[in-house]
Amino acid sequence: MHDEENTSGKPHSPSPIEWFSTPPKAAIDHRVSTLIKTSIGLGVAAILWSLGWQALAYFGGGLAIFIGGASLISTRFSIIFEHAAAGLGKSIGITLSTLTLTPLYVLLFPIIRFFDVIAGRDPMGYRRSPMIFSYWRSVDDPQRVKRGVKRSFMTERIDQRERGGLISLLLLITFALFAAEIFLRLMGFGHVVLYQQNPHYGYIPAPQQHVIRRGHEISINQWGMRAPEFAAKKPANVTRIIMLGDSTLWGGSYTSQERIYARQLETQLNQRLADTSKRVEVLNISANGWGPAHKLGYLNVHGDFGADIAVIAFPFADLHRPLSHLSMTPFYPAQNPPHLALQEVLYHLSWRWRGQLIGKYTREEREALLQDGVEAYRRLAQALHDRGLEVWLEMLPSRQAVESEGSERERRYLSAIKEGLKSLPFTYHFSFADHPLRTAYQERYNAQTIYHDSGHLNALGHDAYAEYLVERLSHSARFSLGERPSVPQGGGEHE
Amino acid sequence: MSKRPFNILGVSALYHDSAACLIRDGEIIAAAQEERFSRKKGDSGLPVHAMRWCLNEGEIKRGEIDLVVFFEKPLTKFLRLLRTHTAVAPRGLKSFLMGVPIWLKEKAWSPMAIERFLEREGFGRPAAFEFCEHHLSHAASAFYPSPFEEAAVLTIDGVGEWTSTALSVGEGHDLRMIFEQRFPHSLGMLYSAFTYFTGFKVNSGEYKLMGLAPYGEPRYVDTIYEHIVDVREDGSFRLNLDCFGYLGGLKMTNDKFAELFGGPARASESELTRREMDIARSIQVVTEEIILKMARYARAVSGKPYLVLAGGCALNCVANGKLKRSGLFDDIWIQPAAGDAGGALGAALYSWHAVRDQPRSPLNGQPDRMKGAFLGPSFPEAQIQQYLDDRGYVYRRLTDEEWADYIAERIAANKVVGLFRGRMEFGPRALCARSILADARSPETQSFLNLATKFRESFRPFAPVVLQEDAHEYFEEIFDSPYMLLVDQVKEERLHGAERPSPDTDLKTWVNIPRSDVPAITHVDNSARIQTIDRARNPKMHDILTAFKEKTGYGIMVNTSFNVRSEPIVCTPEDAYVCFMRTGMDTLVLERFVLEKTEQPPWTEGDDWRDRYELD
């Protein structure tokens, strides 16, 4: 059937021929493209040089010259380099896409699947049933294709079954969000104290606010403080006590404003002076999250309001708090208040998340901050003293310290501040070592009943601490005199 | 001043079998698949060669492209990919990481890439860019070129955006989709899953599975209905997705599927066993039953007496033949480029007729509006002669009078002839413009063509090309199949009555048992995939068959595509010559020029050319 092949004639090796009238446009000449690529490589090297990365510039430039030169000498080299570059580019692309798409897939897609399941959706049609008469789907809107021809996606309506599922899902999500909002509001969220930023002392609660939170009124006066209004100038026959503190003095929303120990201190001291013409005003100068730098900054800007006695109230954790501005806190700025409890919670969670991303201070960093904190308190005490105030430093022990000896860190901080304040050349008052809350009141109270958490007092704790402070301050010469003496010289007192 | 005609460039790309076509005022000017130019089988890239050729063929100048239509909605398809993964996550990460970057890097921007290409090539940016839904593209490719004024339209394939099967109705120039079935429930995917399981390549090996089916027994049909697919009387169905791996996986089937069929999938190129043959037969039976049920439903809901078909599953000639013979419809018409390549054509036609409300042109005596599917490049004689002269190839120029007679003579002498003439076919079938012809009467032809000419599996059958007016002499019921898309039984009186061999008979032995007086085109089940030749569509081939009939008494011969296994059908005379020299062909006909293998200079190539083609 088939003839044997003819082996006569000249050997032939075929070469391409142009069969079509307009052949594909020829690529740029190999040498020209090589020179262009080499120039780009040298340009990149020049940029690296100008940025000061000389070693990288030498490497890049050298590589460009080597590859360009080799490619000009032989197209074989050129092909090898191009394949290597393509392989490298592909590998980088695969790596990048894997790194970016994997988290997206792993985190997002199962959630969508989960919502499909709870909404009863079956997007892939897994369900088969003898009860289903037909699996044909009617095409809802034949005209859609004419309307949608200019679009690269379909413009069909969602069919009834899908729409039902989608509506169910949306209703479920809406209900869940609504229920969460209600629950959070019942938990006390949704009404927040708003804050103002300040370059000198970081931030304060925005003045003139009245917020009911967790059933407690929070009234912020004209000075941005959670306290009754007071005049800038001390009235006659009044002894003023300025208390400088943080959240332990601020009281938290779980404490009634009247139960805050500063307020109780004023009430109780005035009761003791009931038979005299003298009165006492206790100015609560505090904010959540404040450290020594905030207090010093506030004092520098607003002064001491003519106070006679200063009580610097602080827990040990204050000592490593640098001056922070509002963006570093979970507090809402006054110009952009939240409207929902969910919003507040998410804002707070995002703050925690950011904190976790940033990470905690190292031990060395905390030590440095501690030294700064001690120094700031020393300067604060010095400044108050220089203004002629009698200075009391009251370090509030933690719950652990009341229960037992306190943590190693707390004891170390206590030692550090004692050591740091030792050199103050004037008389001041400092308490803690004897843990008065423990020793003086342990018969009536215990740590479980007077603390809200590990460091903040609850209402009962405020009562106890106020009682303690009344006892302490009633021994003050200023309290009995009600006027500023001349500035004492030298010395110091440690209790 | 006459109004300039409206030029539409249709494009299908980026999945498999990319193609382009040019429509001018509704008339098909040119259409071609990218693989024919790039020489990569089933090329899925942007069809730059095909677009360039179509536009040059239409002599399109800068600014004359009024519209480019893409054959589907890329964004919807991307969203389907994402939605599918939401249904399986956290499984499916690997396929997600493989699929999504390609989308983000390339597929999502394909319309822009097409516009940039047109600008770069000097055709200018098109005045408008549109997107036709995948199954509407298929439906339009089936309905608008068909001879029917009204018809039900059934489009079945793997998947488009979401639709995997659609039932539409065409009336005049209006085309409306009325019912659909959606991914992942797909007859195309079901068939492809079995293609994969029997060791053939998905998206190209489906026709091998179909060819293997007659060797087997349908012993898995009940298993398939019971465990794999739930079919309703109206032809709608749902797959049991627990048995498939393509949702978020990289394989079509999974272990559960394998358990049902007695073990793991067959390894590619390994020996075919009785199991694969029985599986092939079983899924073929199920496919045919589903298609027949769908067609019955289409007839009922559309009320139309005619049916047109497109989509990859419309290339299942055996099912098509049964559908035609069922008498459900007065007549059926199948788009010859039924796969995704035809989507380019359908998208362009849809934008012209349905979107722009333009009437269809009258048939003017033509059997349909597809121009015989001869829509690709042709080459002038002068260019071919110059090529042959330049290369020093030995040829002879035939006159009109001797041309058909010479070819018929060679085939009658049991020679294998490569026929290259006229415009290249659009679609997967070689319809005698790029065909290898041989004598259907010889019992050796099938084996020789498979093993020495096409270098393909020995079990695969060959198709007959027959004079339309003689078709009734060879086949039982189908006498009009111009696009080789229908299978029918060889006429009873031509059969030798050969017994079906025992199941353990070697495939090669089985194939070589003569079953009729035209054994080369008679498959083991006595069927044949018919191409009928009429003078209107292909007068030259009609001449060859007539001449052959005068010499032998048979107006029938073997027609197989002009290529070897895994190679696209030849496009240029050079492709044809190279294929001719590499294979066991004896004679090559390049238009009027005839070349005999024995007279050609020796053929040498630096390496084994077969290594250049990835096995399909």
**The domain that contains B78 carries what CATH number?**
3.30.420.40
**Top-confidence residue, B475 or A187:** B475
Whether residue A291 sits in one domain with residue A172: no
Question: What is the per-residue pLDDT across B325-354, written as a single tens digit (0 to 9) for each?
Answer: 999 999 999 999 999 999 999 999 999 999
Does the pLDDT value for residue B359 go beyond 80?
A: yes
Q: Which of A3-7, A435-439, B379-383 has the lowest mean pLDDT?
A: A3-7
Arithmetic mean of pLDDT over chain B? 93
**Distance in angstroms (rounded) separating the CA atoms of residues B367 and B468:** 13
What pLDDT does B452 receive? Answer: 77
Mean local confidence (pLDDT), A251-279: 89
* Site of tokens 């509006």: B369
Work out the minimum CA distance from A21 to partner chain B, whole angstroms. 8
Q: By the 8 A CB rule, do B181 and B293 touch?
A: no
Cβ contacts (< 8 Å) between B236 and chain A: which residues?
134-136
Does the pLDDT value for residue A494 go beyond 50?
A: no
- Under an 8 A CB cutoff, do A6 and B599 touch? yes
Question: What is the per-residue pLDDT across B281-301, written as a single tens digit (0 to 9) for each?
Answer: 999 999 999 999 999 999 999
The DSSP annotation for A32-67 comes to HHHHHHHHHHHHHHHHHHHTT-HHHHHHHHHHHHHH
Whether residue A321 sits in one domain with residue A181: no
Q: Which of A18-27, A62-71, B322-331, B450-459 has the lowest mean pLDDT?
A: A18-27
- Under an 8 A CB cutoff, do B131 and A150 touch? yes
Question: What is the per-residue pLDDT across A306-335, written as a single tens digit (0 to 9) for each?
Answer: 999 999 988 888 888 888 888 888 899 988
**Distance in angstroms (rounded) separating the CA atoms of residues B166 and B185:** 12
**Any chain B CB within 8 A of the CB of A359?**
no
Q: By the 8 A CB rule, do B306 and B330 touch?
A: yes
Q: How many domains are contained in chain A?
A: 2
**pLDDT class for B503, splitting at 50, 70, 90?**
confident
Residue A225 lies in a domain: yes
**Any chain B CB within 8 A of the CB of A2?**
yes
Using CB atoms, pick whichever of B128, B178, B379 lies closest to residue A19. Answer: B379
Question: What is the per-residue pLDDT across A270-310, written as a single tens digit (0 to 9) for each?
Answer: 988 888 888 899 999 999 999 999 999 999 999 999 999 99
What pLDDT does A139 receive? Answer: 84
Q: Which of A1, A143, A146, A156 to mutate to test the interface with B (most CBs of B within 10 A)?
A: A1
Count of residues making up chain A: 495
Q: Where are the alpha helices (DSSP H) in B304-417?
A: 317-326, 340-350, 381-391, 400-412
Cβ contacts (< 8 Å) between B100 and chain A: which residues?
97, 101
What pLDDT does A486 receive? Answer: 44
- Under an 8 A CB cutoff, do A6 and B600 touch? yes
**Distance in angstroms (rounded) separating the CA atoms of residues B45 and B311:** 20
Whether residue B281 sits in one domain with residue B197: yes
**Distance in angstroms (rounded) separating the CA atoms of residues B265 and B277:** 13
**pLDDT class for A359, splitting at 50, 70, 90?**
confident
Whether residue B390 sits in one domain with residue B362: no
What pLDDT does A425 receive? Answer: 72
Work out the minimum CA distance from A131 to partner chain B, whole angstroms. 11
Whether residue B258 sits in one domain with residue B308: yes
Work out the minimum CA distance from B125 to partner chain A, whole angstroms. 16
Using CB atoms, pick whichever of A10, A97, A128 lies closest to residue B392. Answer: A10
Find the Cα–Cα–Cα–Cα dihedral B331, A145, B162, A164, rounded to 10°.
-120
- Sequence letter at residue A243: M
**Any chain A CB within 8 A of the CB of B182?**
yes
Q: Give the domain-ending residue among B373, B397, B430.
A: B373
Does the pLDDT value for residue B228 go beyond 90?
A: yes
Whether residue A336 sits in one domain with residue A204: yes
**Top-confidence residue, A157 or A485:** A157
Considering only residues 51 to 110 of chain B, which have any Cβ-Cβ distance to chain A shorter than 8 Å? 52-53, 56, 69-70, 73-76, 79, 83-90, 93, 96-97, 100-101, 104-105
ipTM field: 0.91
**Top-confidence residue, A133 or A11:** A133
The three-class DSSP label of residue B216 is: coil
Whether residue A278 sits in one domain with residue A170: no
Show the tokens assigned to A305: 């309001």
For chains A and B, count residue pairs whose Cβ atoms are closer than 8 Å.
200
- Under an 8 A CB cutoff, do B86 and A106 touch? no
Q: By the 8 A CB rule, do B572 and B522 touch?
A: no
- Under an 8 A CB cutoff, do A20 and B56 touch? yes
What pLDDT does A473 receive? Answer: 80
Give the CA distances from residue B292 to residues B235, B279, B298, B300, B528, in Å, rounded to whole numbers and listed in that order: 7, 20, 10, 12, 20
Count of residues making up chain B: 616
Whether residue B468 sits in one domain with residue B424: yes
Residue A493 lies in a domain: no
**Top-confidence residue, B481 or A132:** B481
Show the tokens assigned to B533: 């030749």
**Distance in angstroms (rounded) separating the CA atoms of residues A118 and B539:** 65
Does the pLDDT value for residue A1 go beyond 50?
A: no
Q: By the 8 A CB rule, do B172 and B253 touch?
A: no
Considering only residues 571 to 610 of chain B, which have any Cβ-Cβ distance to chain A shorter than 8 Å? 571-574, 578, 584, 586, 596-606
**Any chain B CB within 8 A of the CB of A22?**
yes
Strands B396-397, B463-467: pairing kind: unpaired
What pLDDT does A127 receive? Answer: 80
Does the pLDDT value for residue A144 go beyond 70?
A: no
Whether residue B407 sits in one domain with residue B320: no
The continuous run of DSSP H or E covering B170 comes out as strand B163-171
Q: Give the range of the structural domain holding residue B349, as residue numbers without chain letter.
A: 7-135+340-373
- Under an 8 A CB cutoff, do B83 and A109 touch? no
Give the chain A residue nearest B48 (alpha carbons).
A24
Residue A413 lies in a domain: yes
Residue B156 lies in a domain: no
DSSP state of B5: P
Phi, psi of B154 (to 5 degrees): -115, 120
Does the pLDDT value for residue A407 go beyond 90?
A: no
Is the dihedral angle over the CA atoms A220, A225, A226, A228 positive or is it negative? negative
Q: How many domains are contained in chain B?
A: 3
Q: Give the range of the structural domain holding residue A161, as residue numbers without chain letter.
A: 155-186
**Distance in angstroms (rounded) separating the CA atoms of residues B211 and B216:** 10
Whether residue A167 sits in one domain with residue A210: no
**Distance in angstroms (rounded) separating the CA atoms of residues B198 and B208:** 10
**A69: number of Cβ within 10 Å:** 12
**Top-confidence residue, A236 or A440:** A236
Give the chain A residue nearest B109 (alpha carbons).
A152
Residue A109 lies in a domain: no
Give the chain B residue nearest A22 (alpha carbons).
B56
Give the CA distances from residue B332 to residues A158, B165, B318, in Å, rounded to whole numbers and listed in that order: 33, 18, 14
Residue A452 lies in a domain: yes
Considering only residues 420 to 459 of chain B, which have any Cβ-Cβ distance to chain A shorter than 8 Å? 442, 444, 448, 452
**Any chain A CB within 8 A of the CB of B402?**
no
**pLDDT class for A481, splitting at 50, 70, 90?**
very low
Whether residue B409 sits in one domain with residue B289: no
Q: What percent of chain B has pLDDT over 90?
A: 85
Using CB atoms, pick whichever of B354, B602, B606 lies closest to residue A146. Answer: B354
What pLDDT does B424 receive? Answer: 98
**pLDDT class for A24, splitting at 50, 70, 90?**
low
Q: Which of A375-384, A420-429, B235-244, B461-470 has the lowest mean pLDDT?
A: A420-429
Q: By the 8 A CB rule, do A241 and A473 touch?
A: yes
**Residue B296: which of B318, B320, B327, B321 has the closest Cα?**
B327
What pLDDT does B478 receive? Answer: 92
Mean local confidence (pLDDT), A433-446: 57
What pLDDT does A253 receive? Answer: 83
What pLDDT does A491 receive? Answer: 34
**Residue B483: which of B336, B309, B312 has the closest Cα?**
B336
Does the pLDDT value for residue A430 go beyond 70?
A: no
Whether residue B533 sits in one domain with residue B421: yes
Using CB atoms, pick whichever of A6, A11, A101 lies closest to residue B100. Answer: A101
Work out the minimum CA distance from A18 to partner chain B, whole angstroms. 10
What pLDDT does B65 receive? Answer: 97
Q: Which of B46, B131, B410 to mutate to test the interface with A (most CBs of A within 10 A)?
A: B131
Work out the minimum CA distance from B464 to partner chain A, whole angstroms. 20
Residue B170 lies in a domain: no
Residue A472 lies in a domain: yes
Mean local confidence (pLDDT), B262-270: 92
Arithmetic mean of pLDDT over chain A? 82
Can you name the residues that pair with A284 across neighbouring β-strands?
Answer: A243
**Distance in angstroms (rounded) separating the CA atoms of residues A95 and A282:** 64
Question: What is the per-residue pLDDT across A75-117, written as a single tens digit (0 to 9) for each?
Answer: 788 888 888 888 998 899 889 989 999 998 998 999 999 988 8
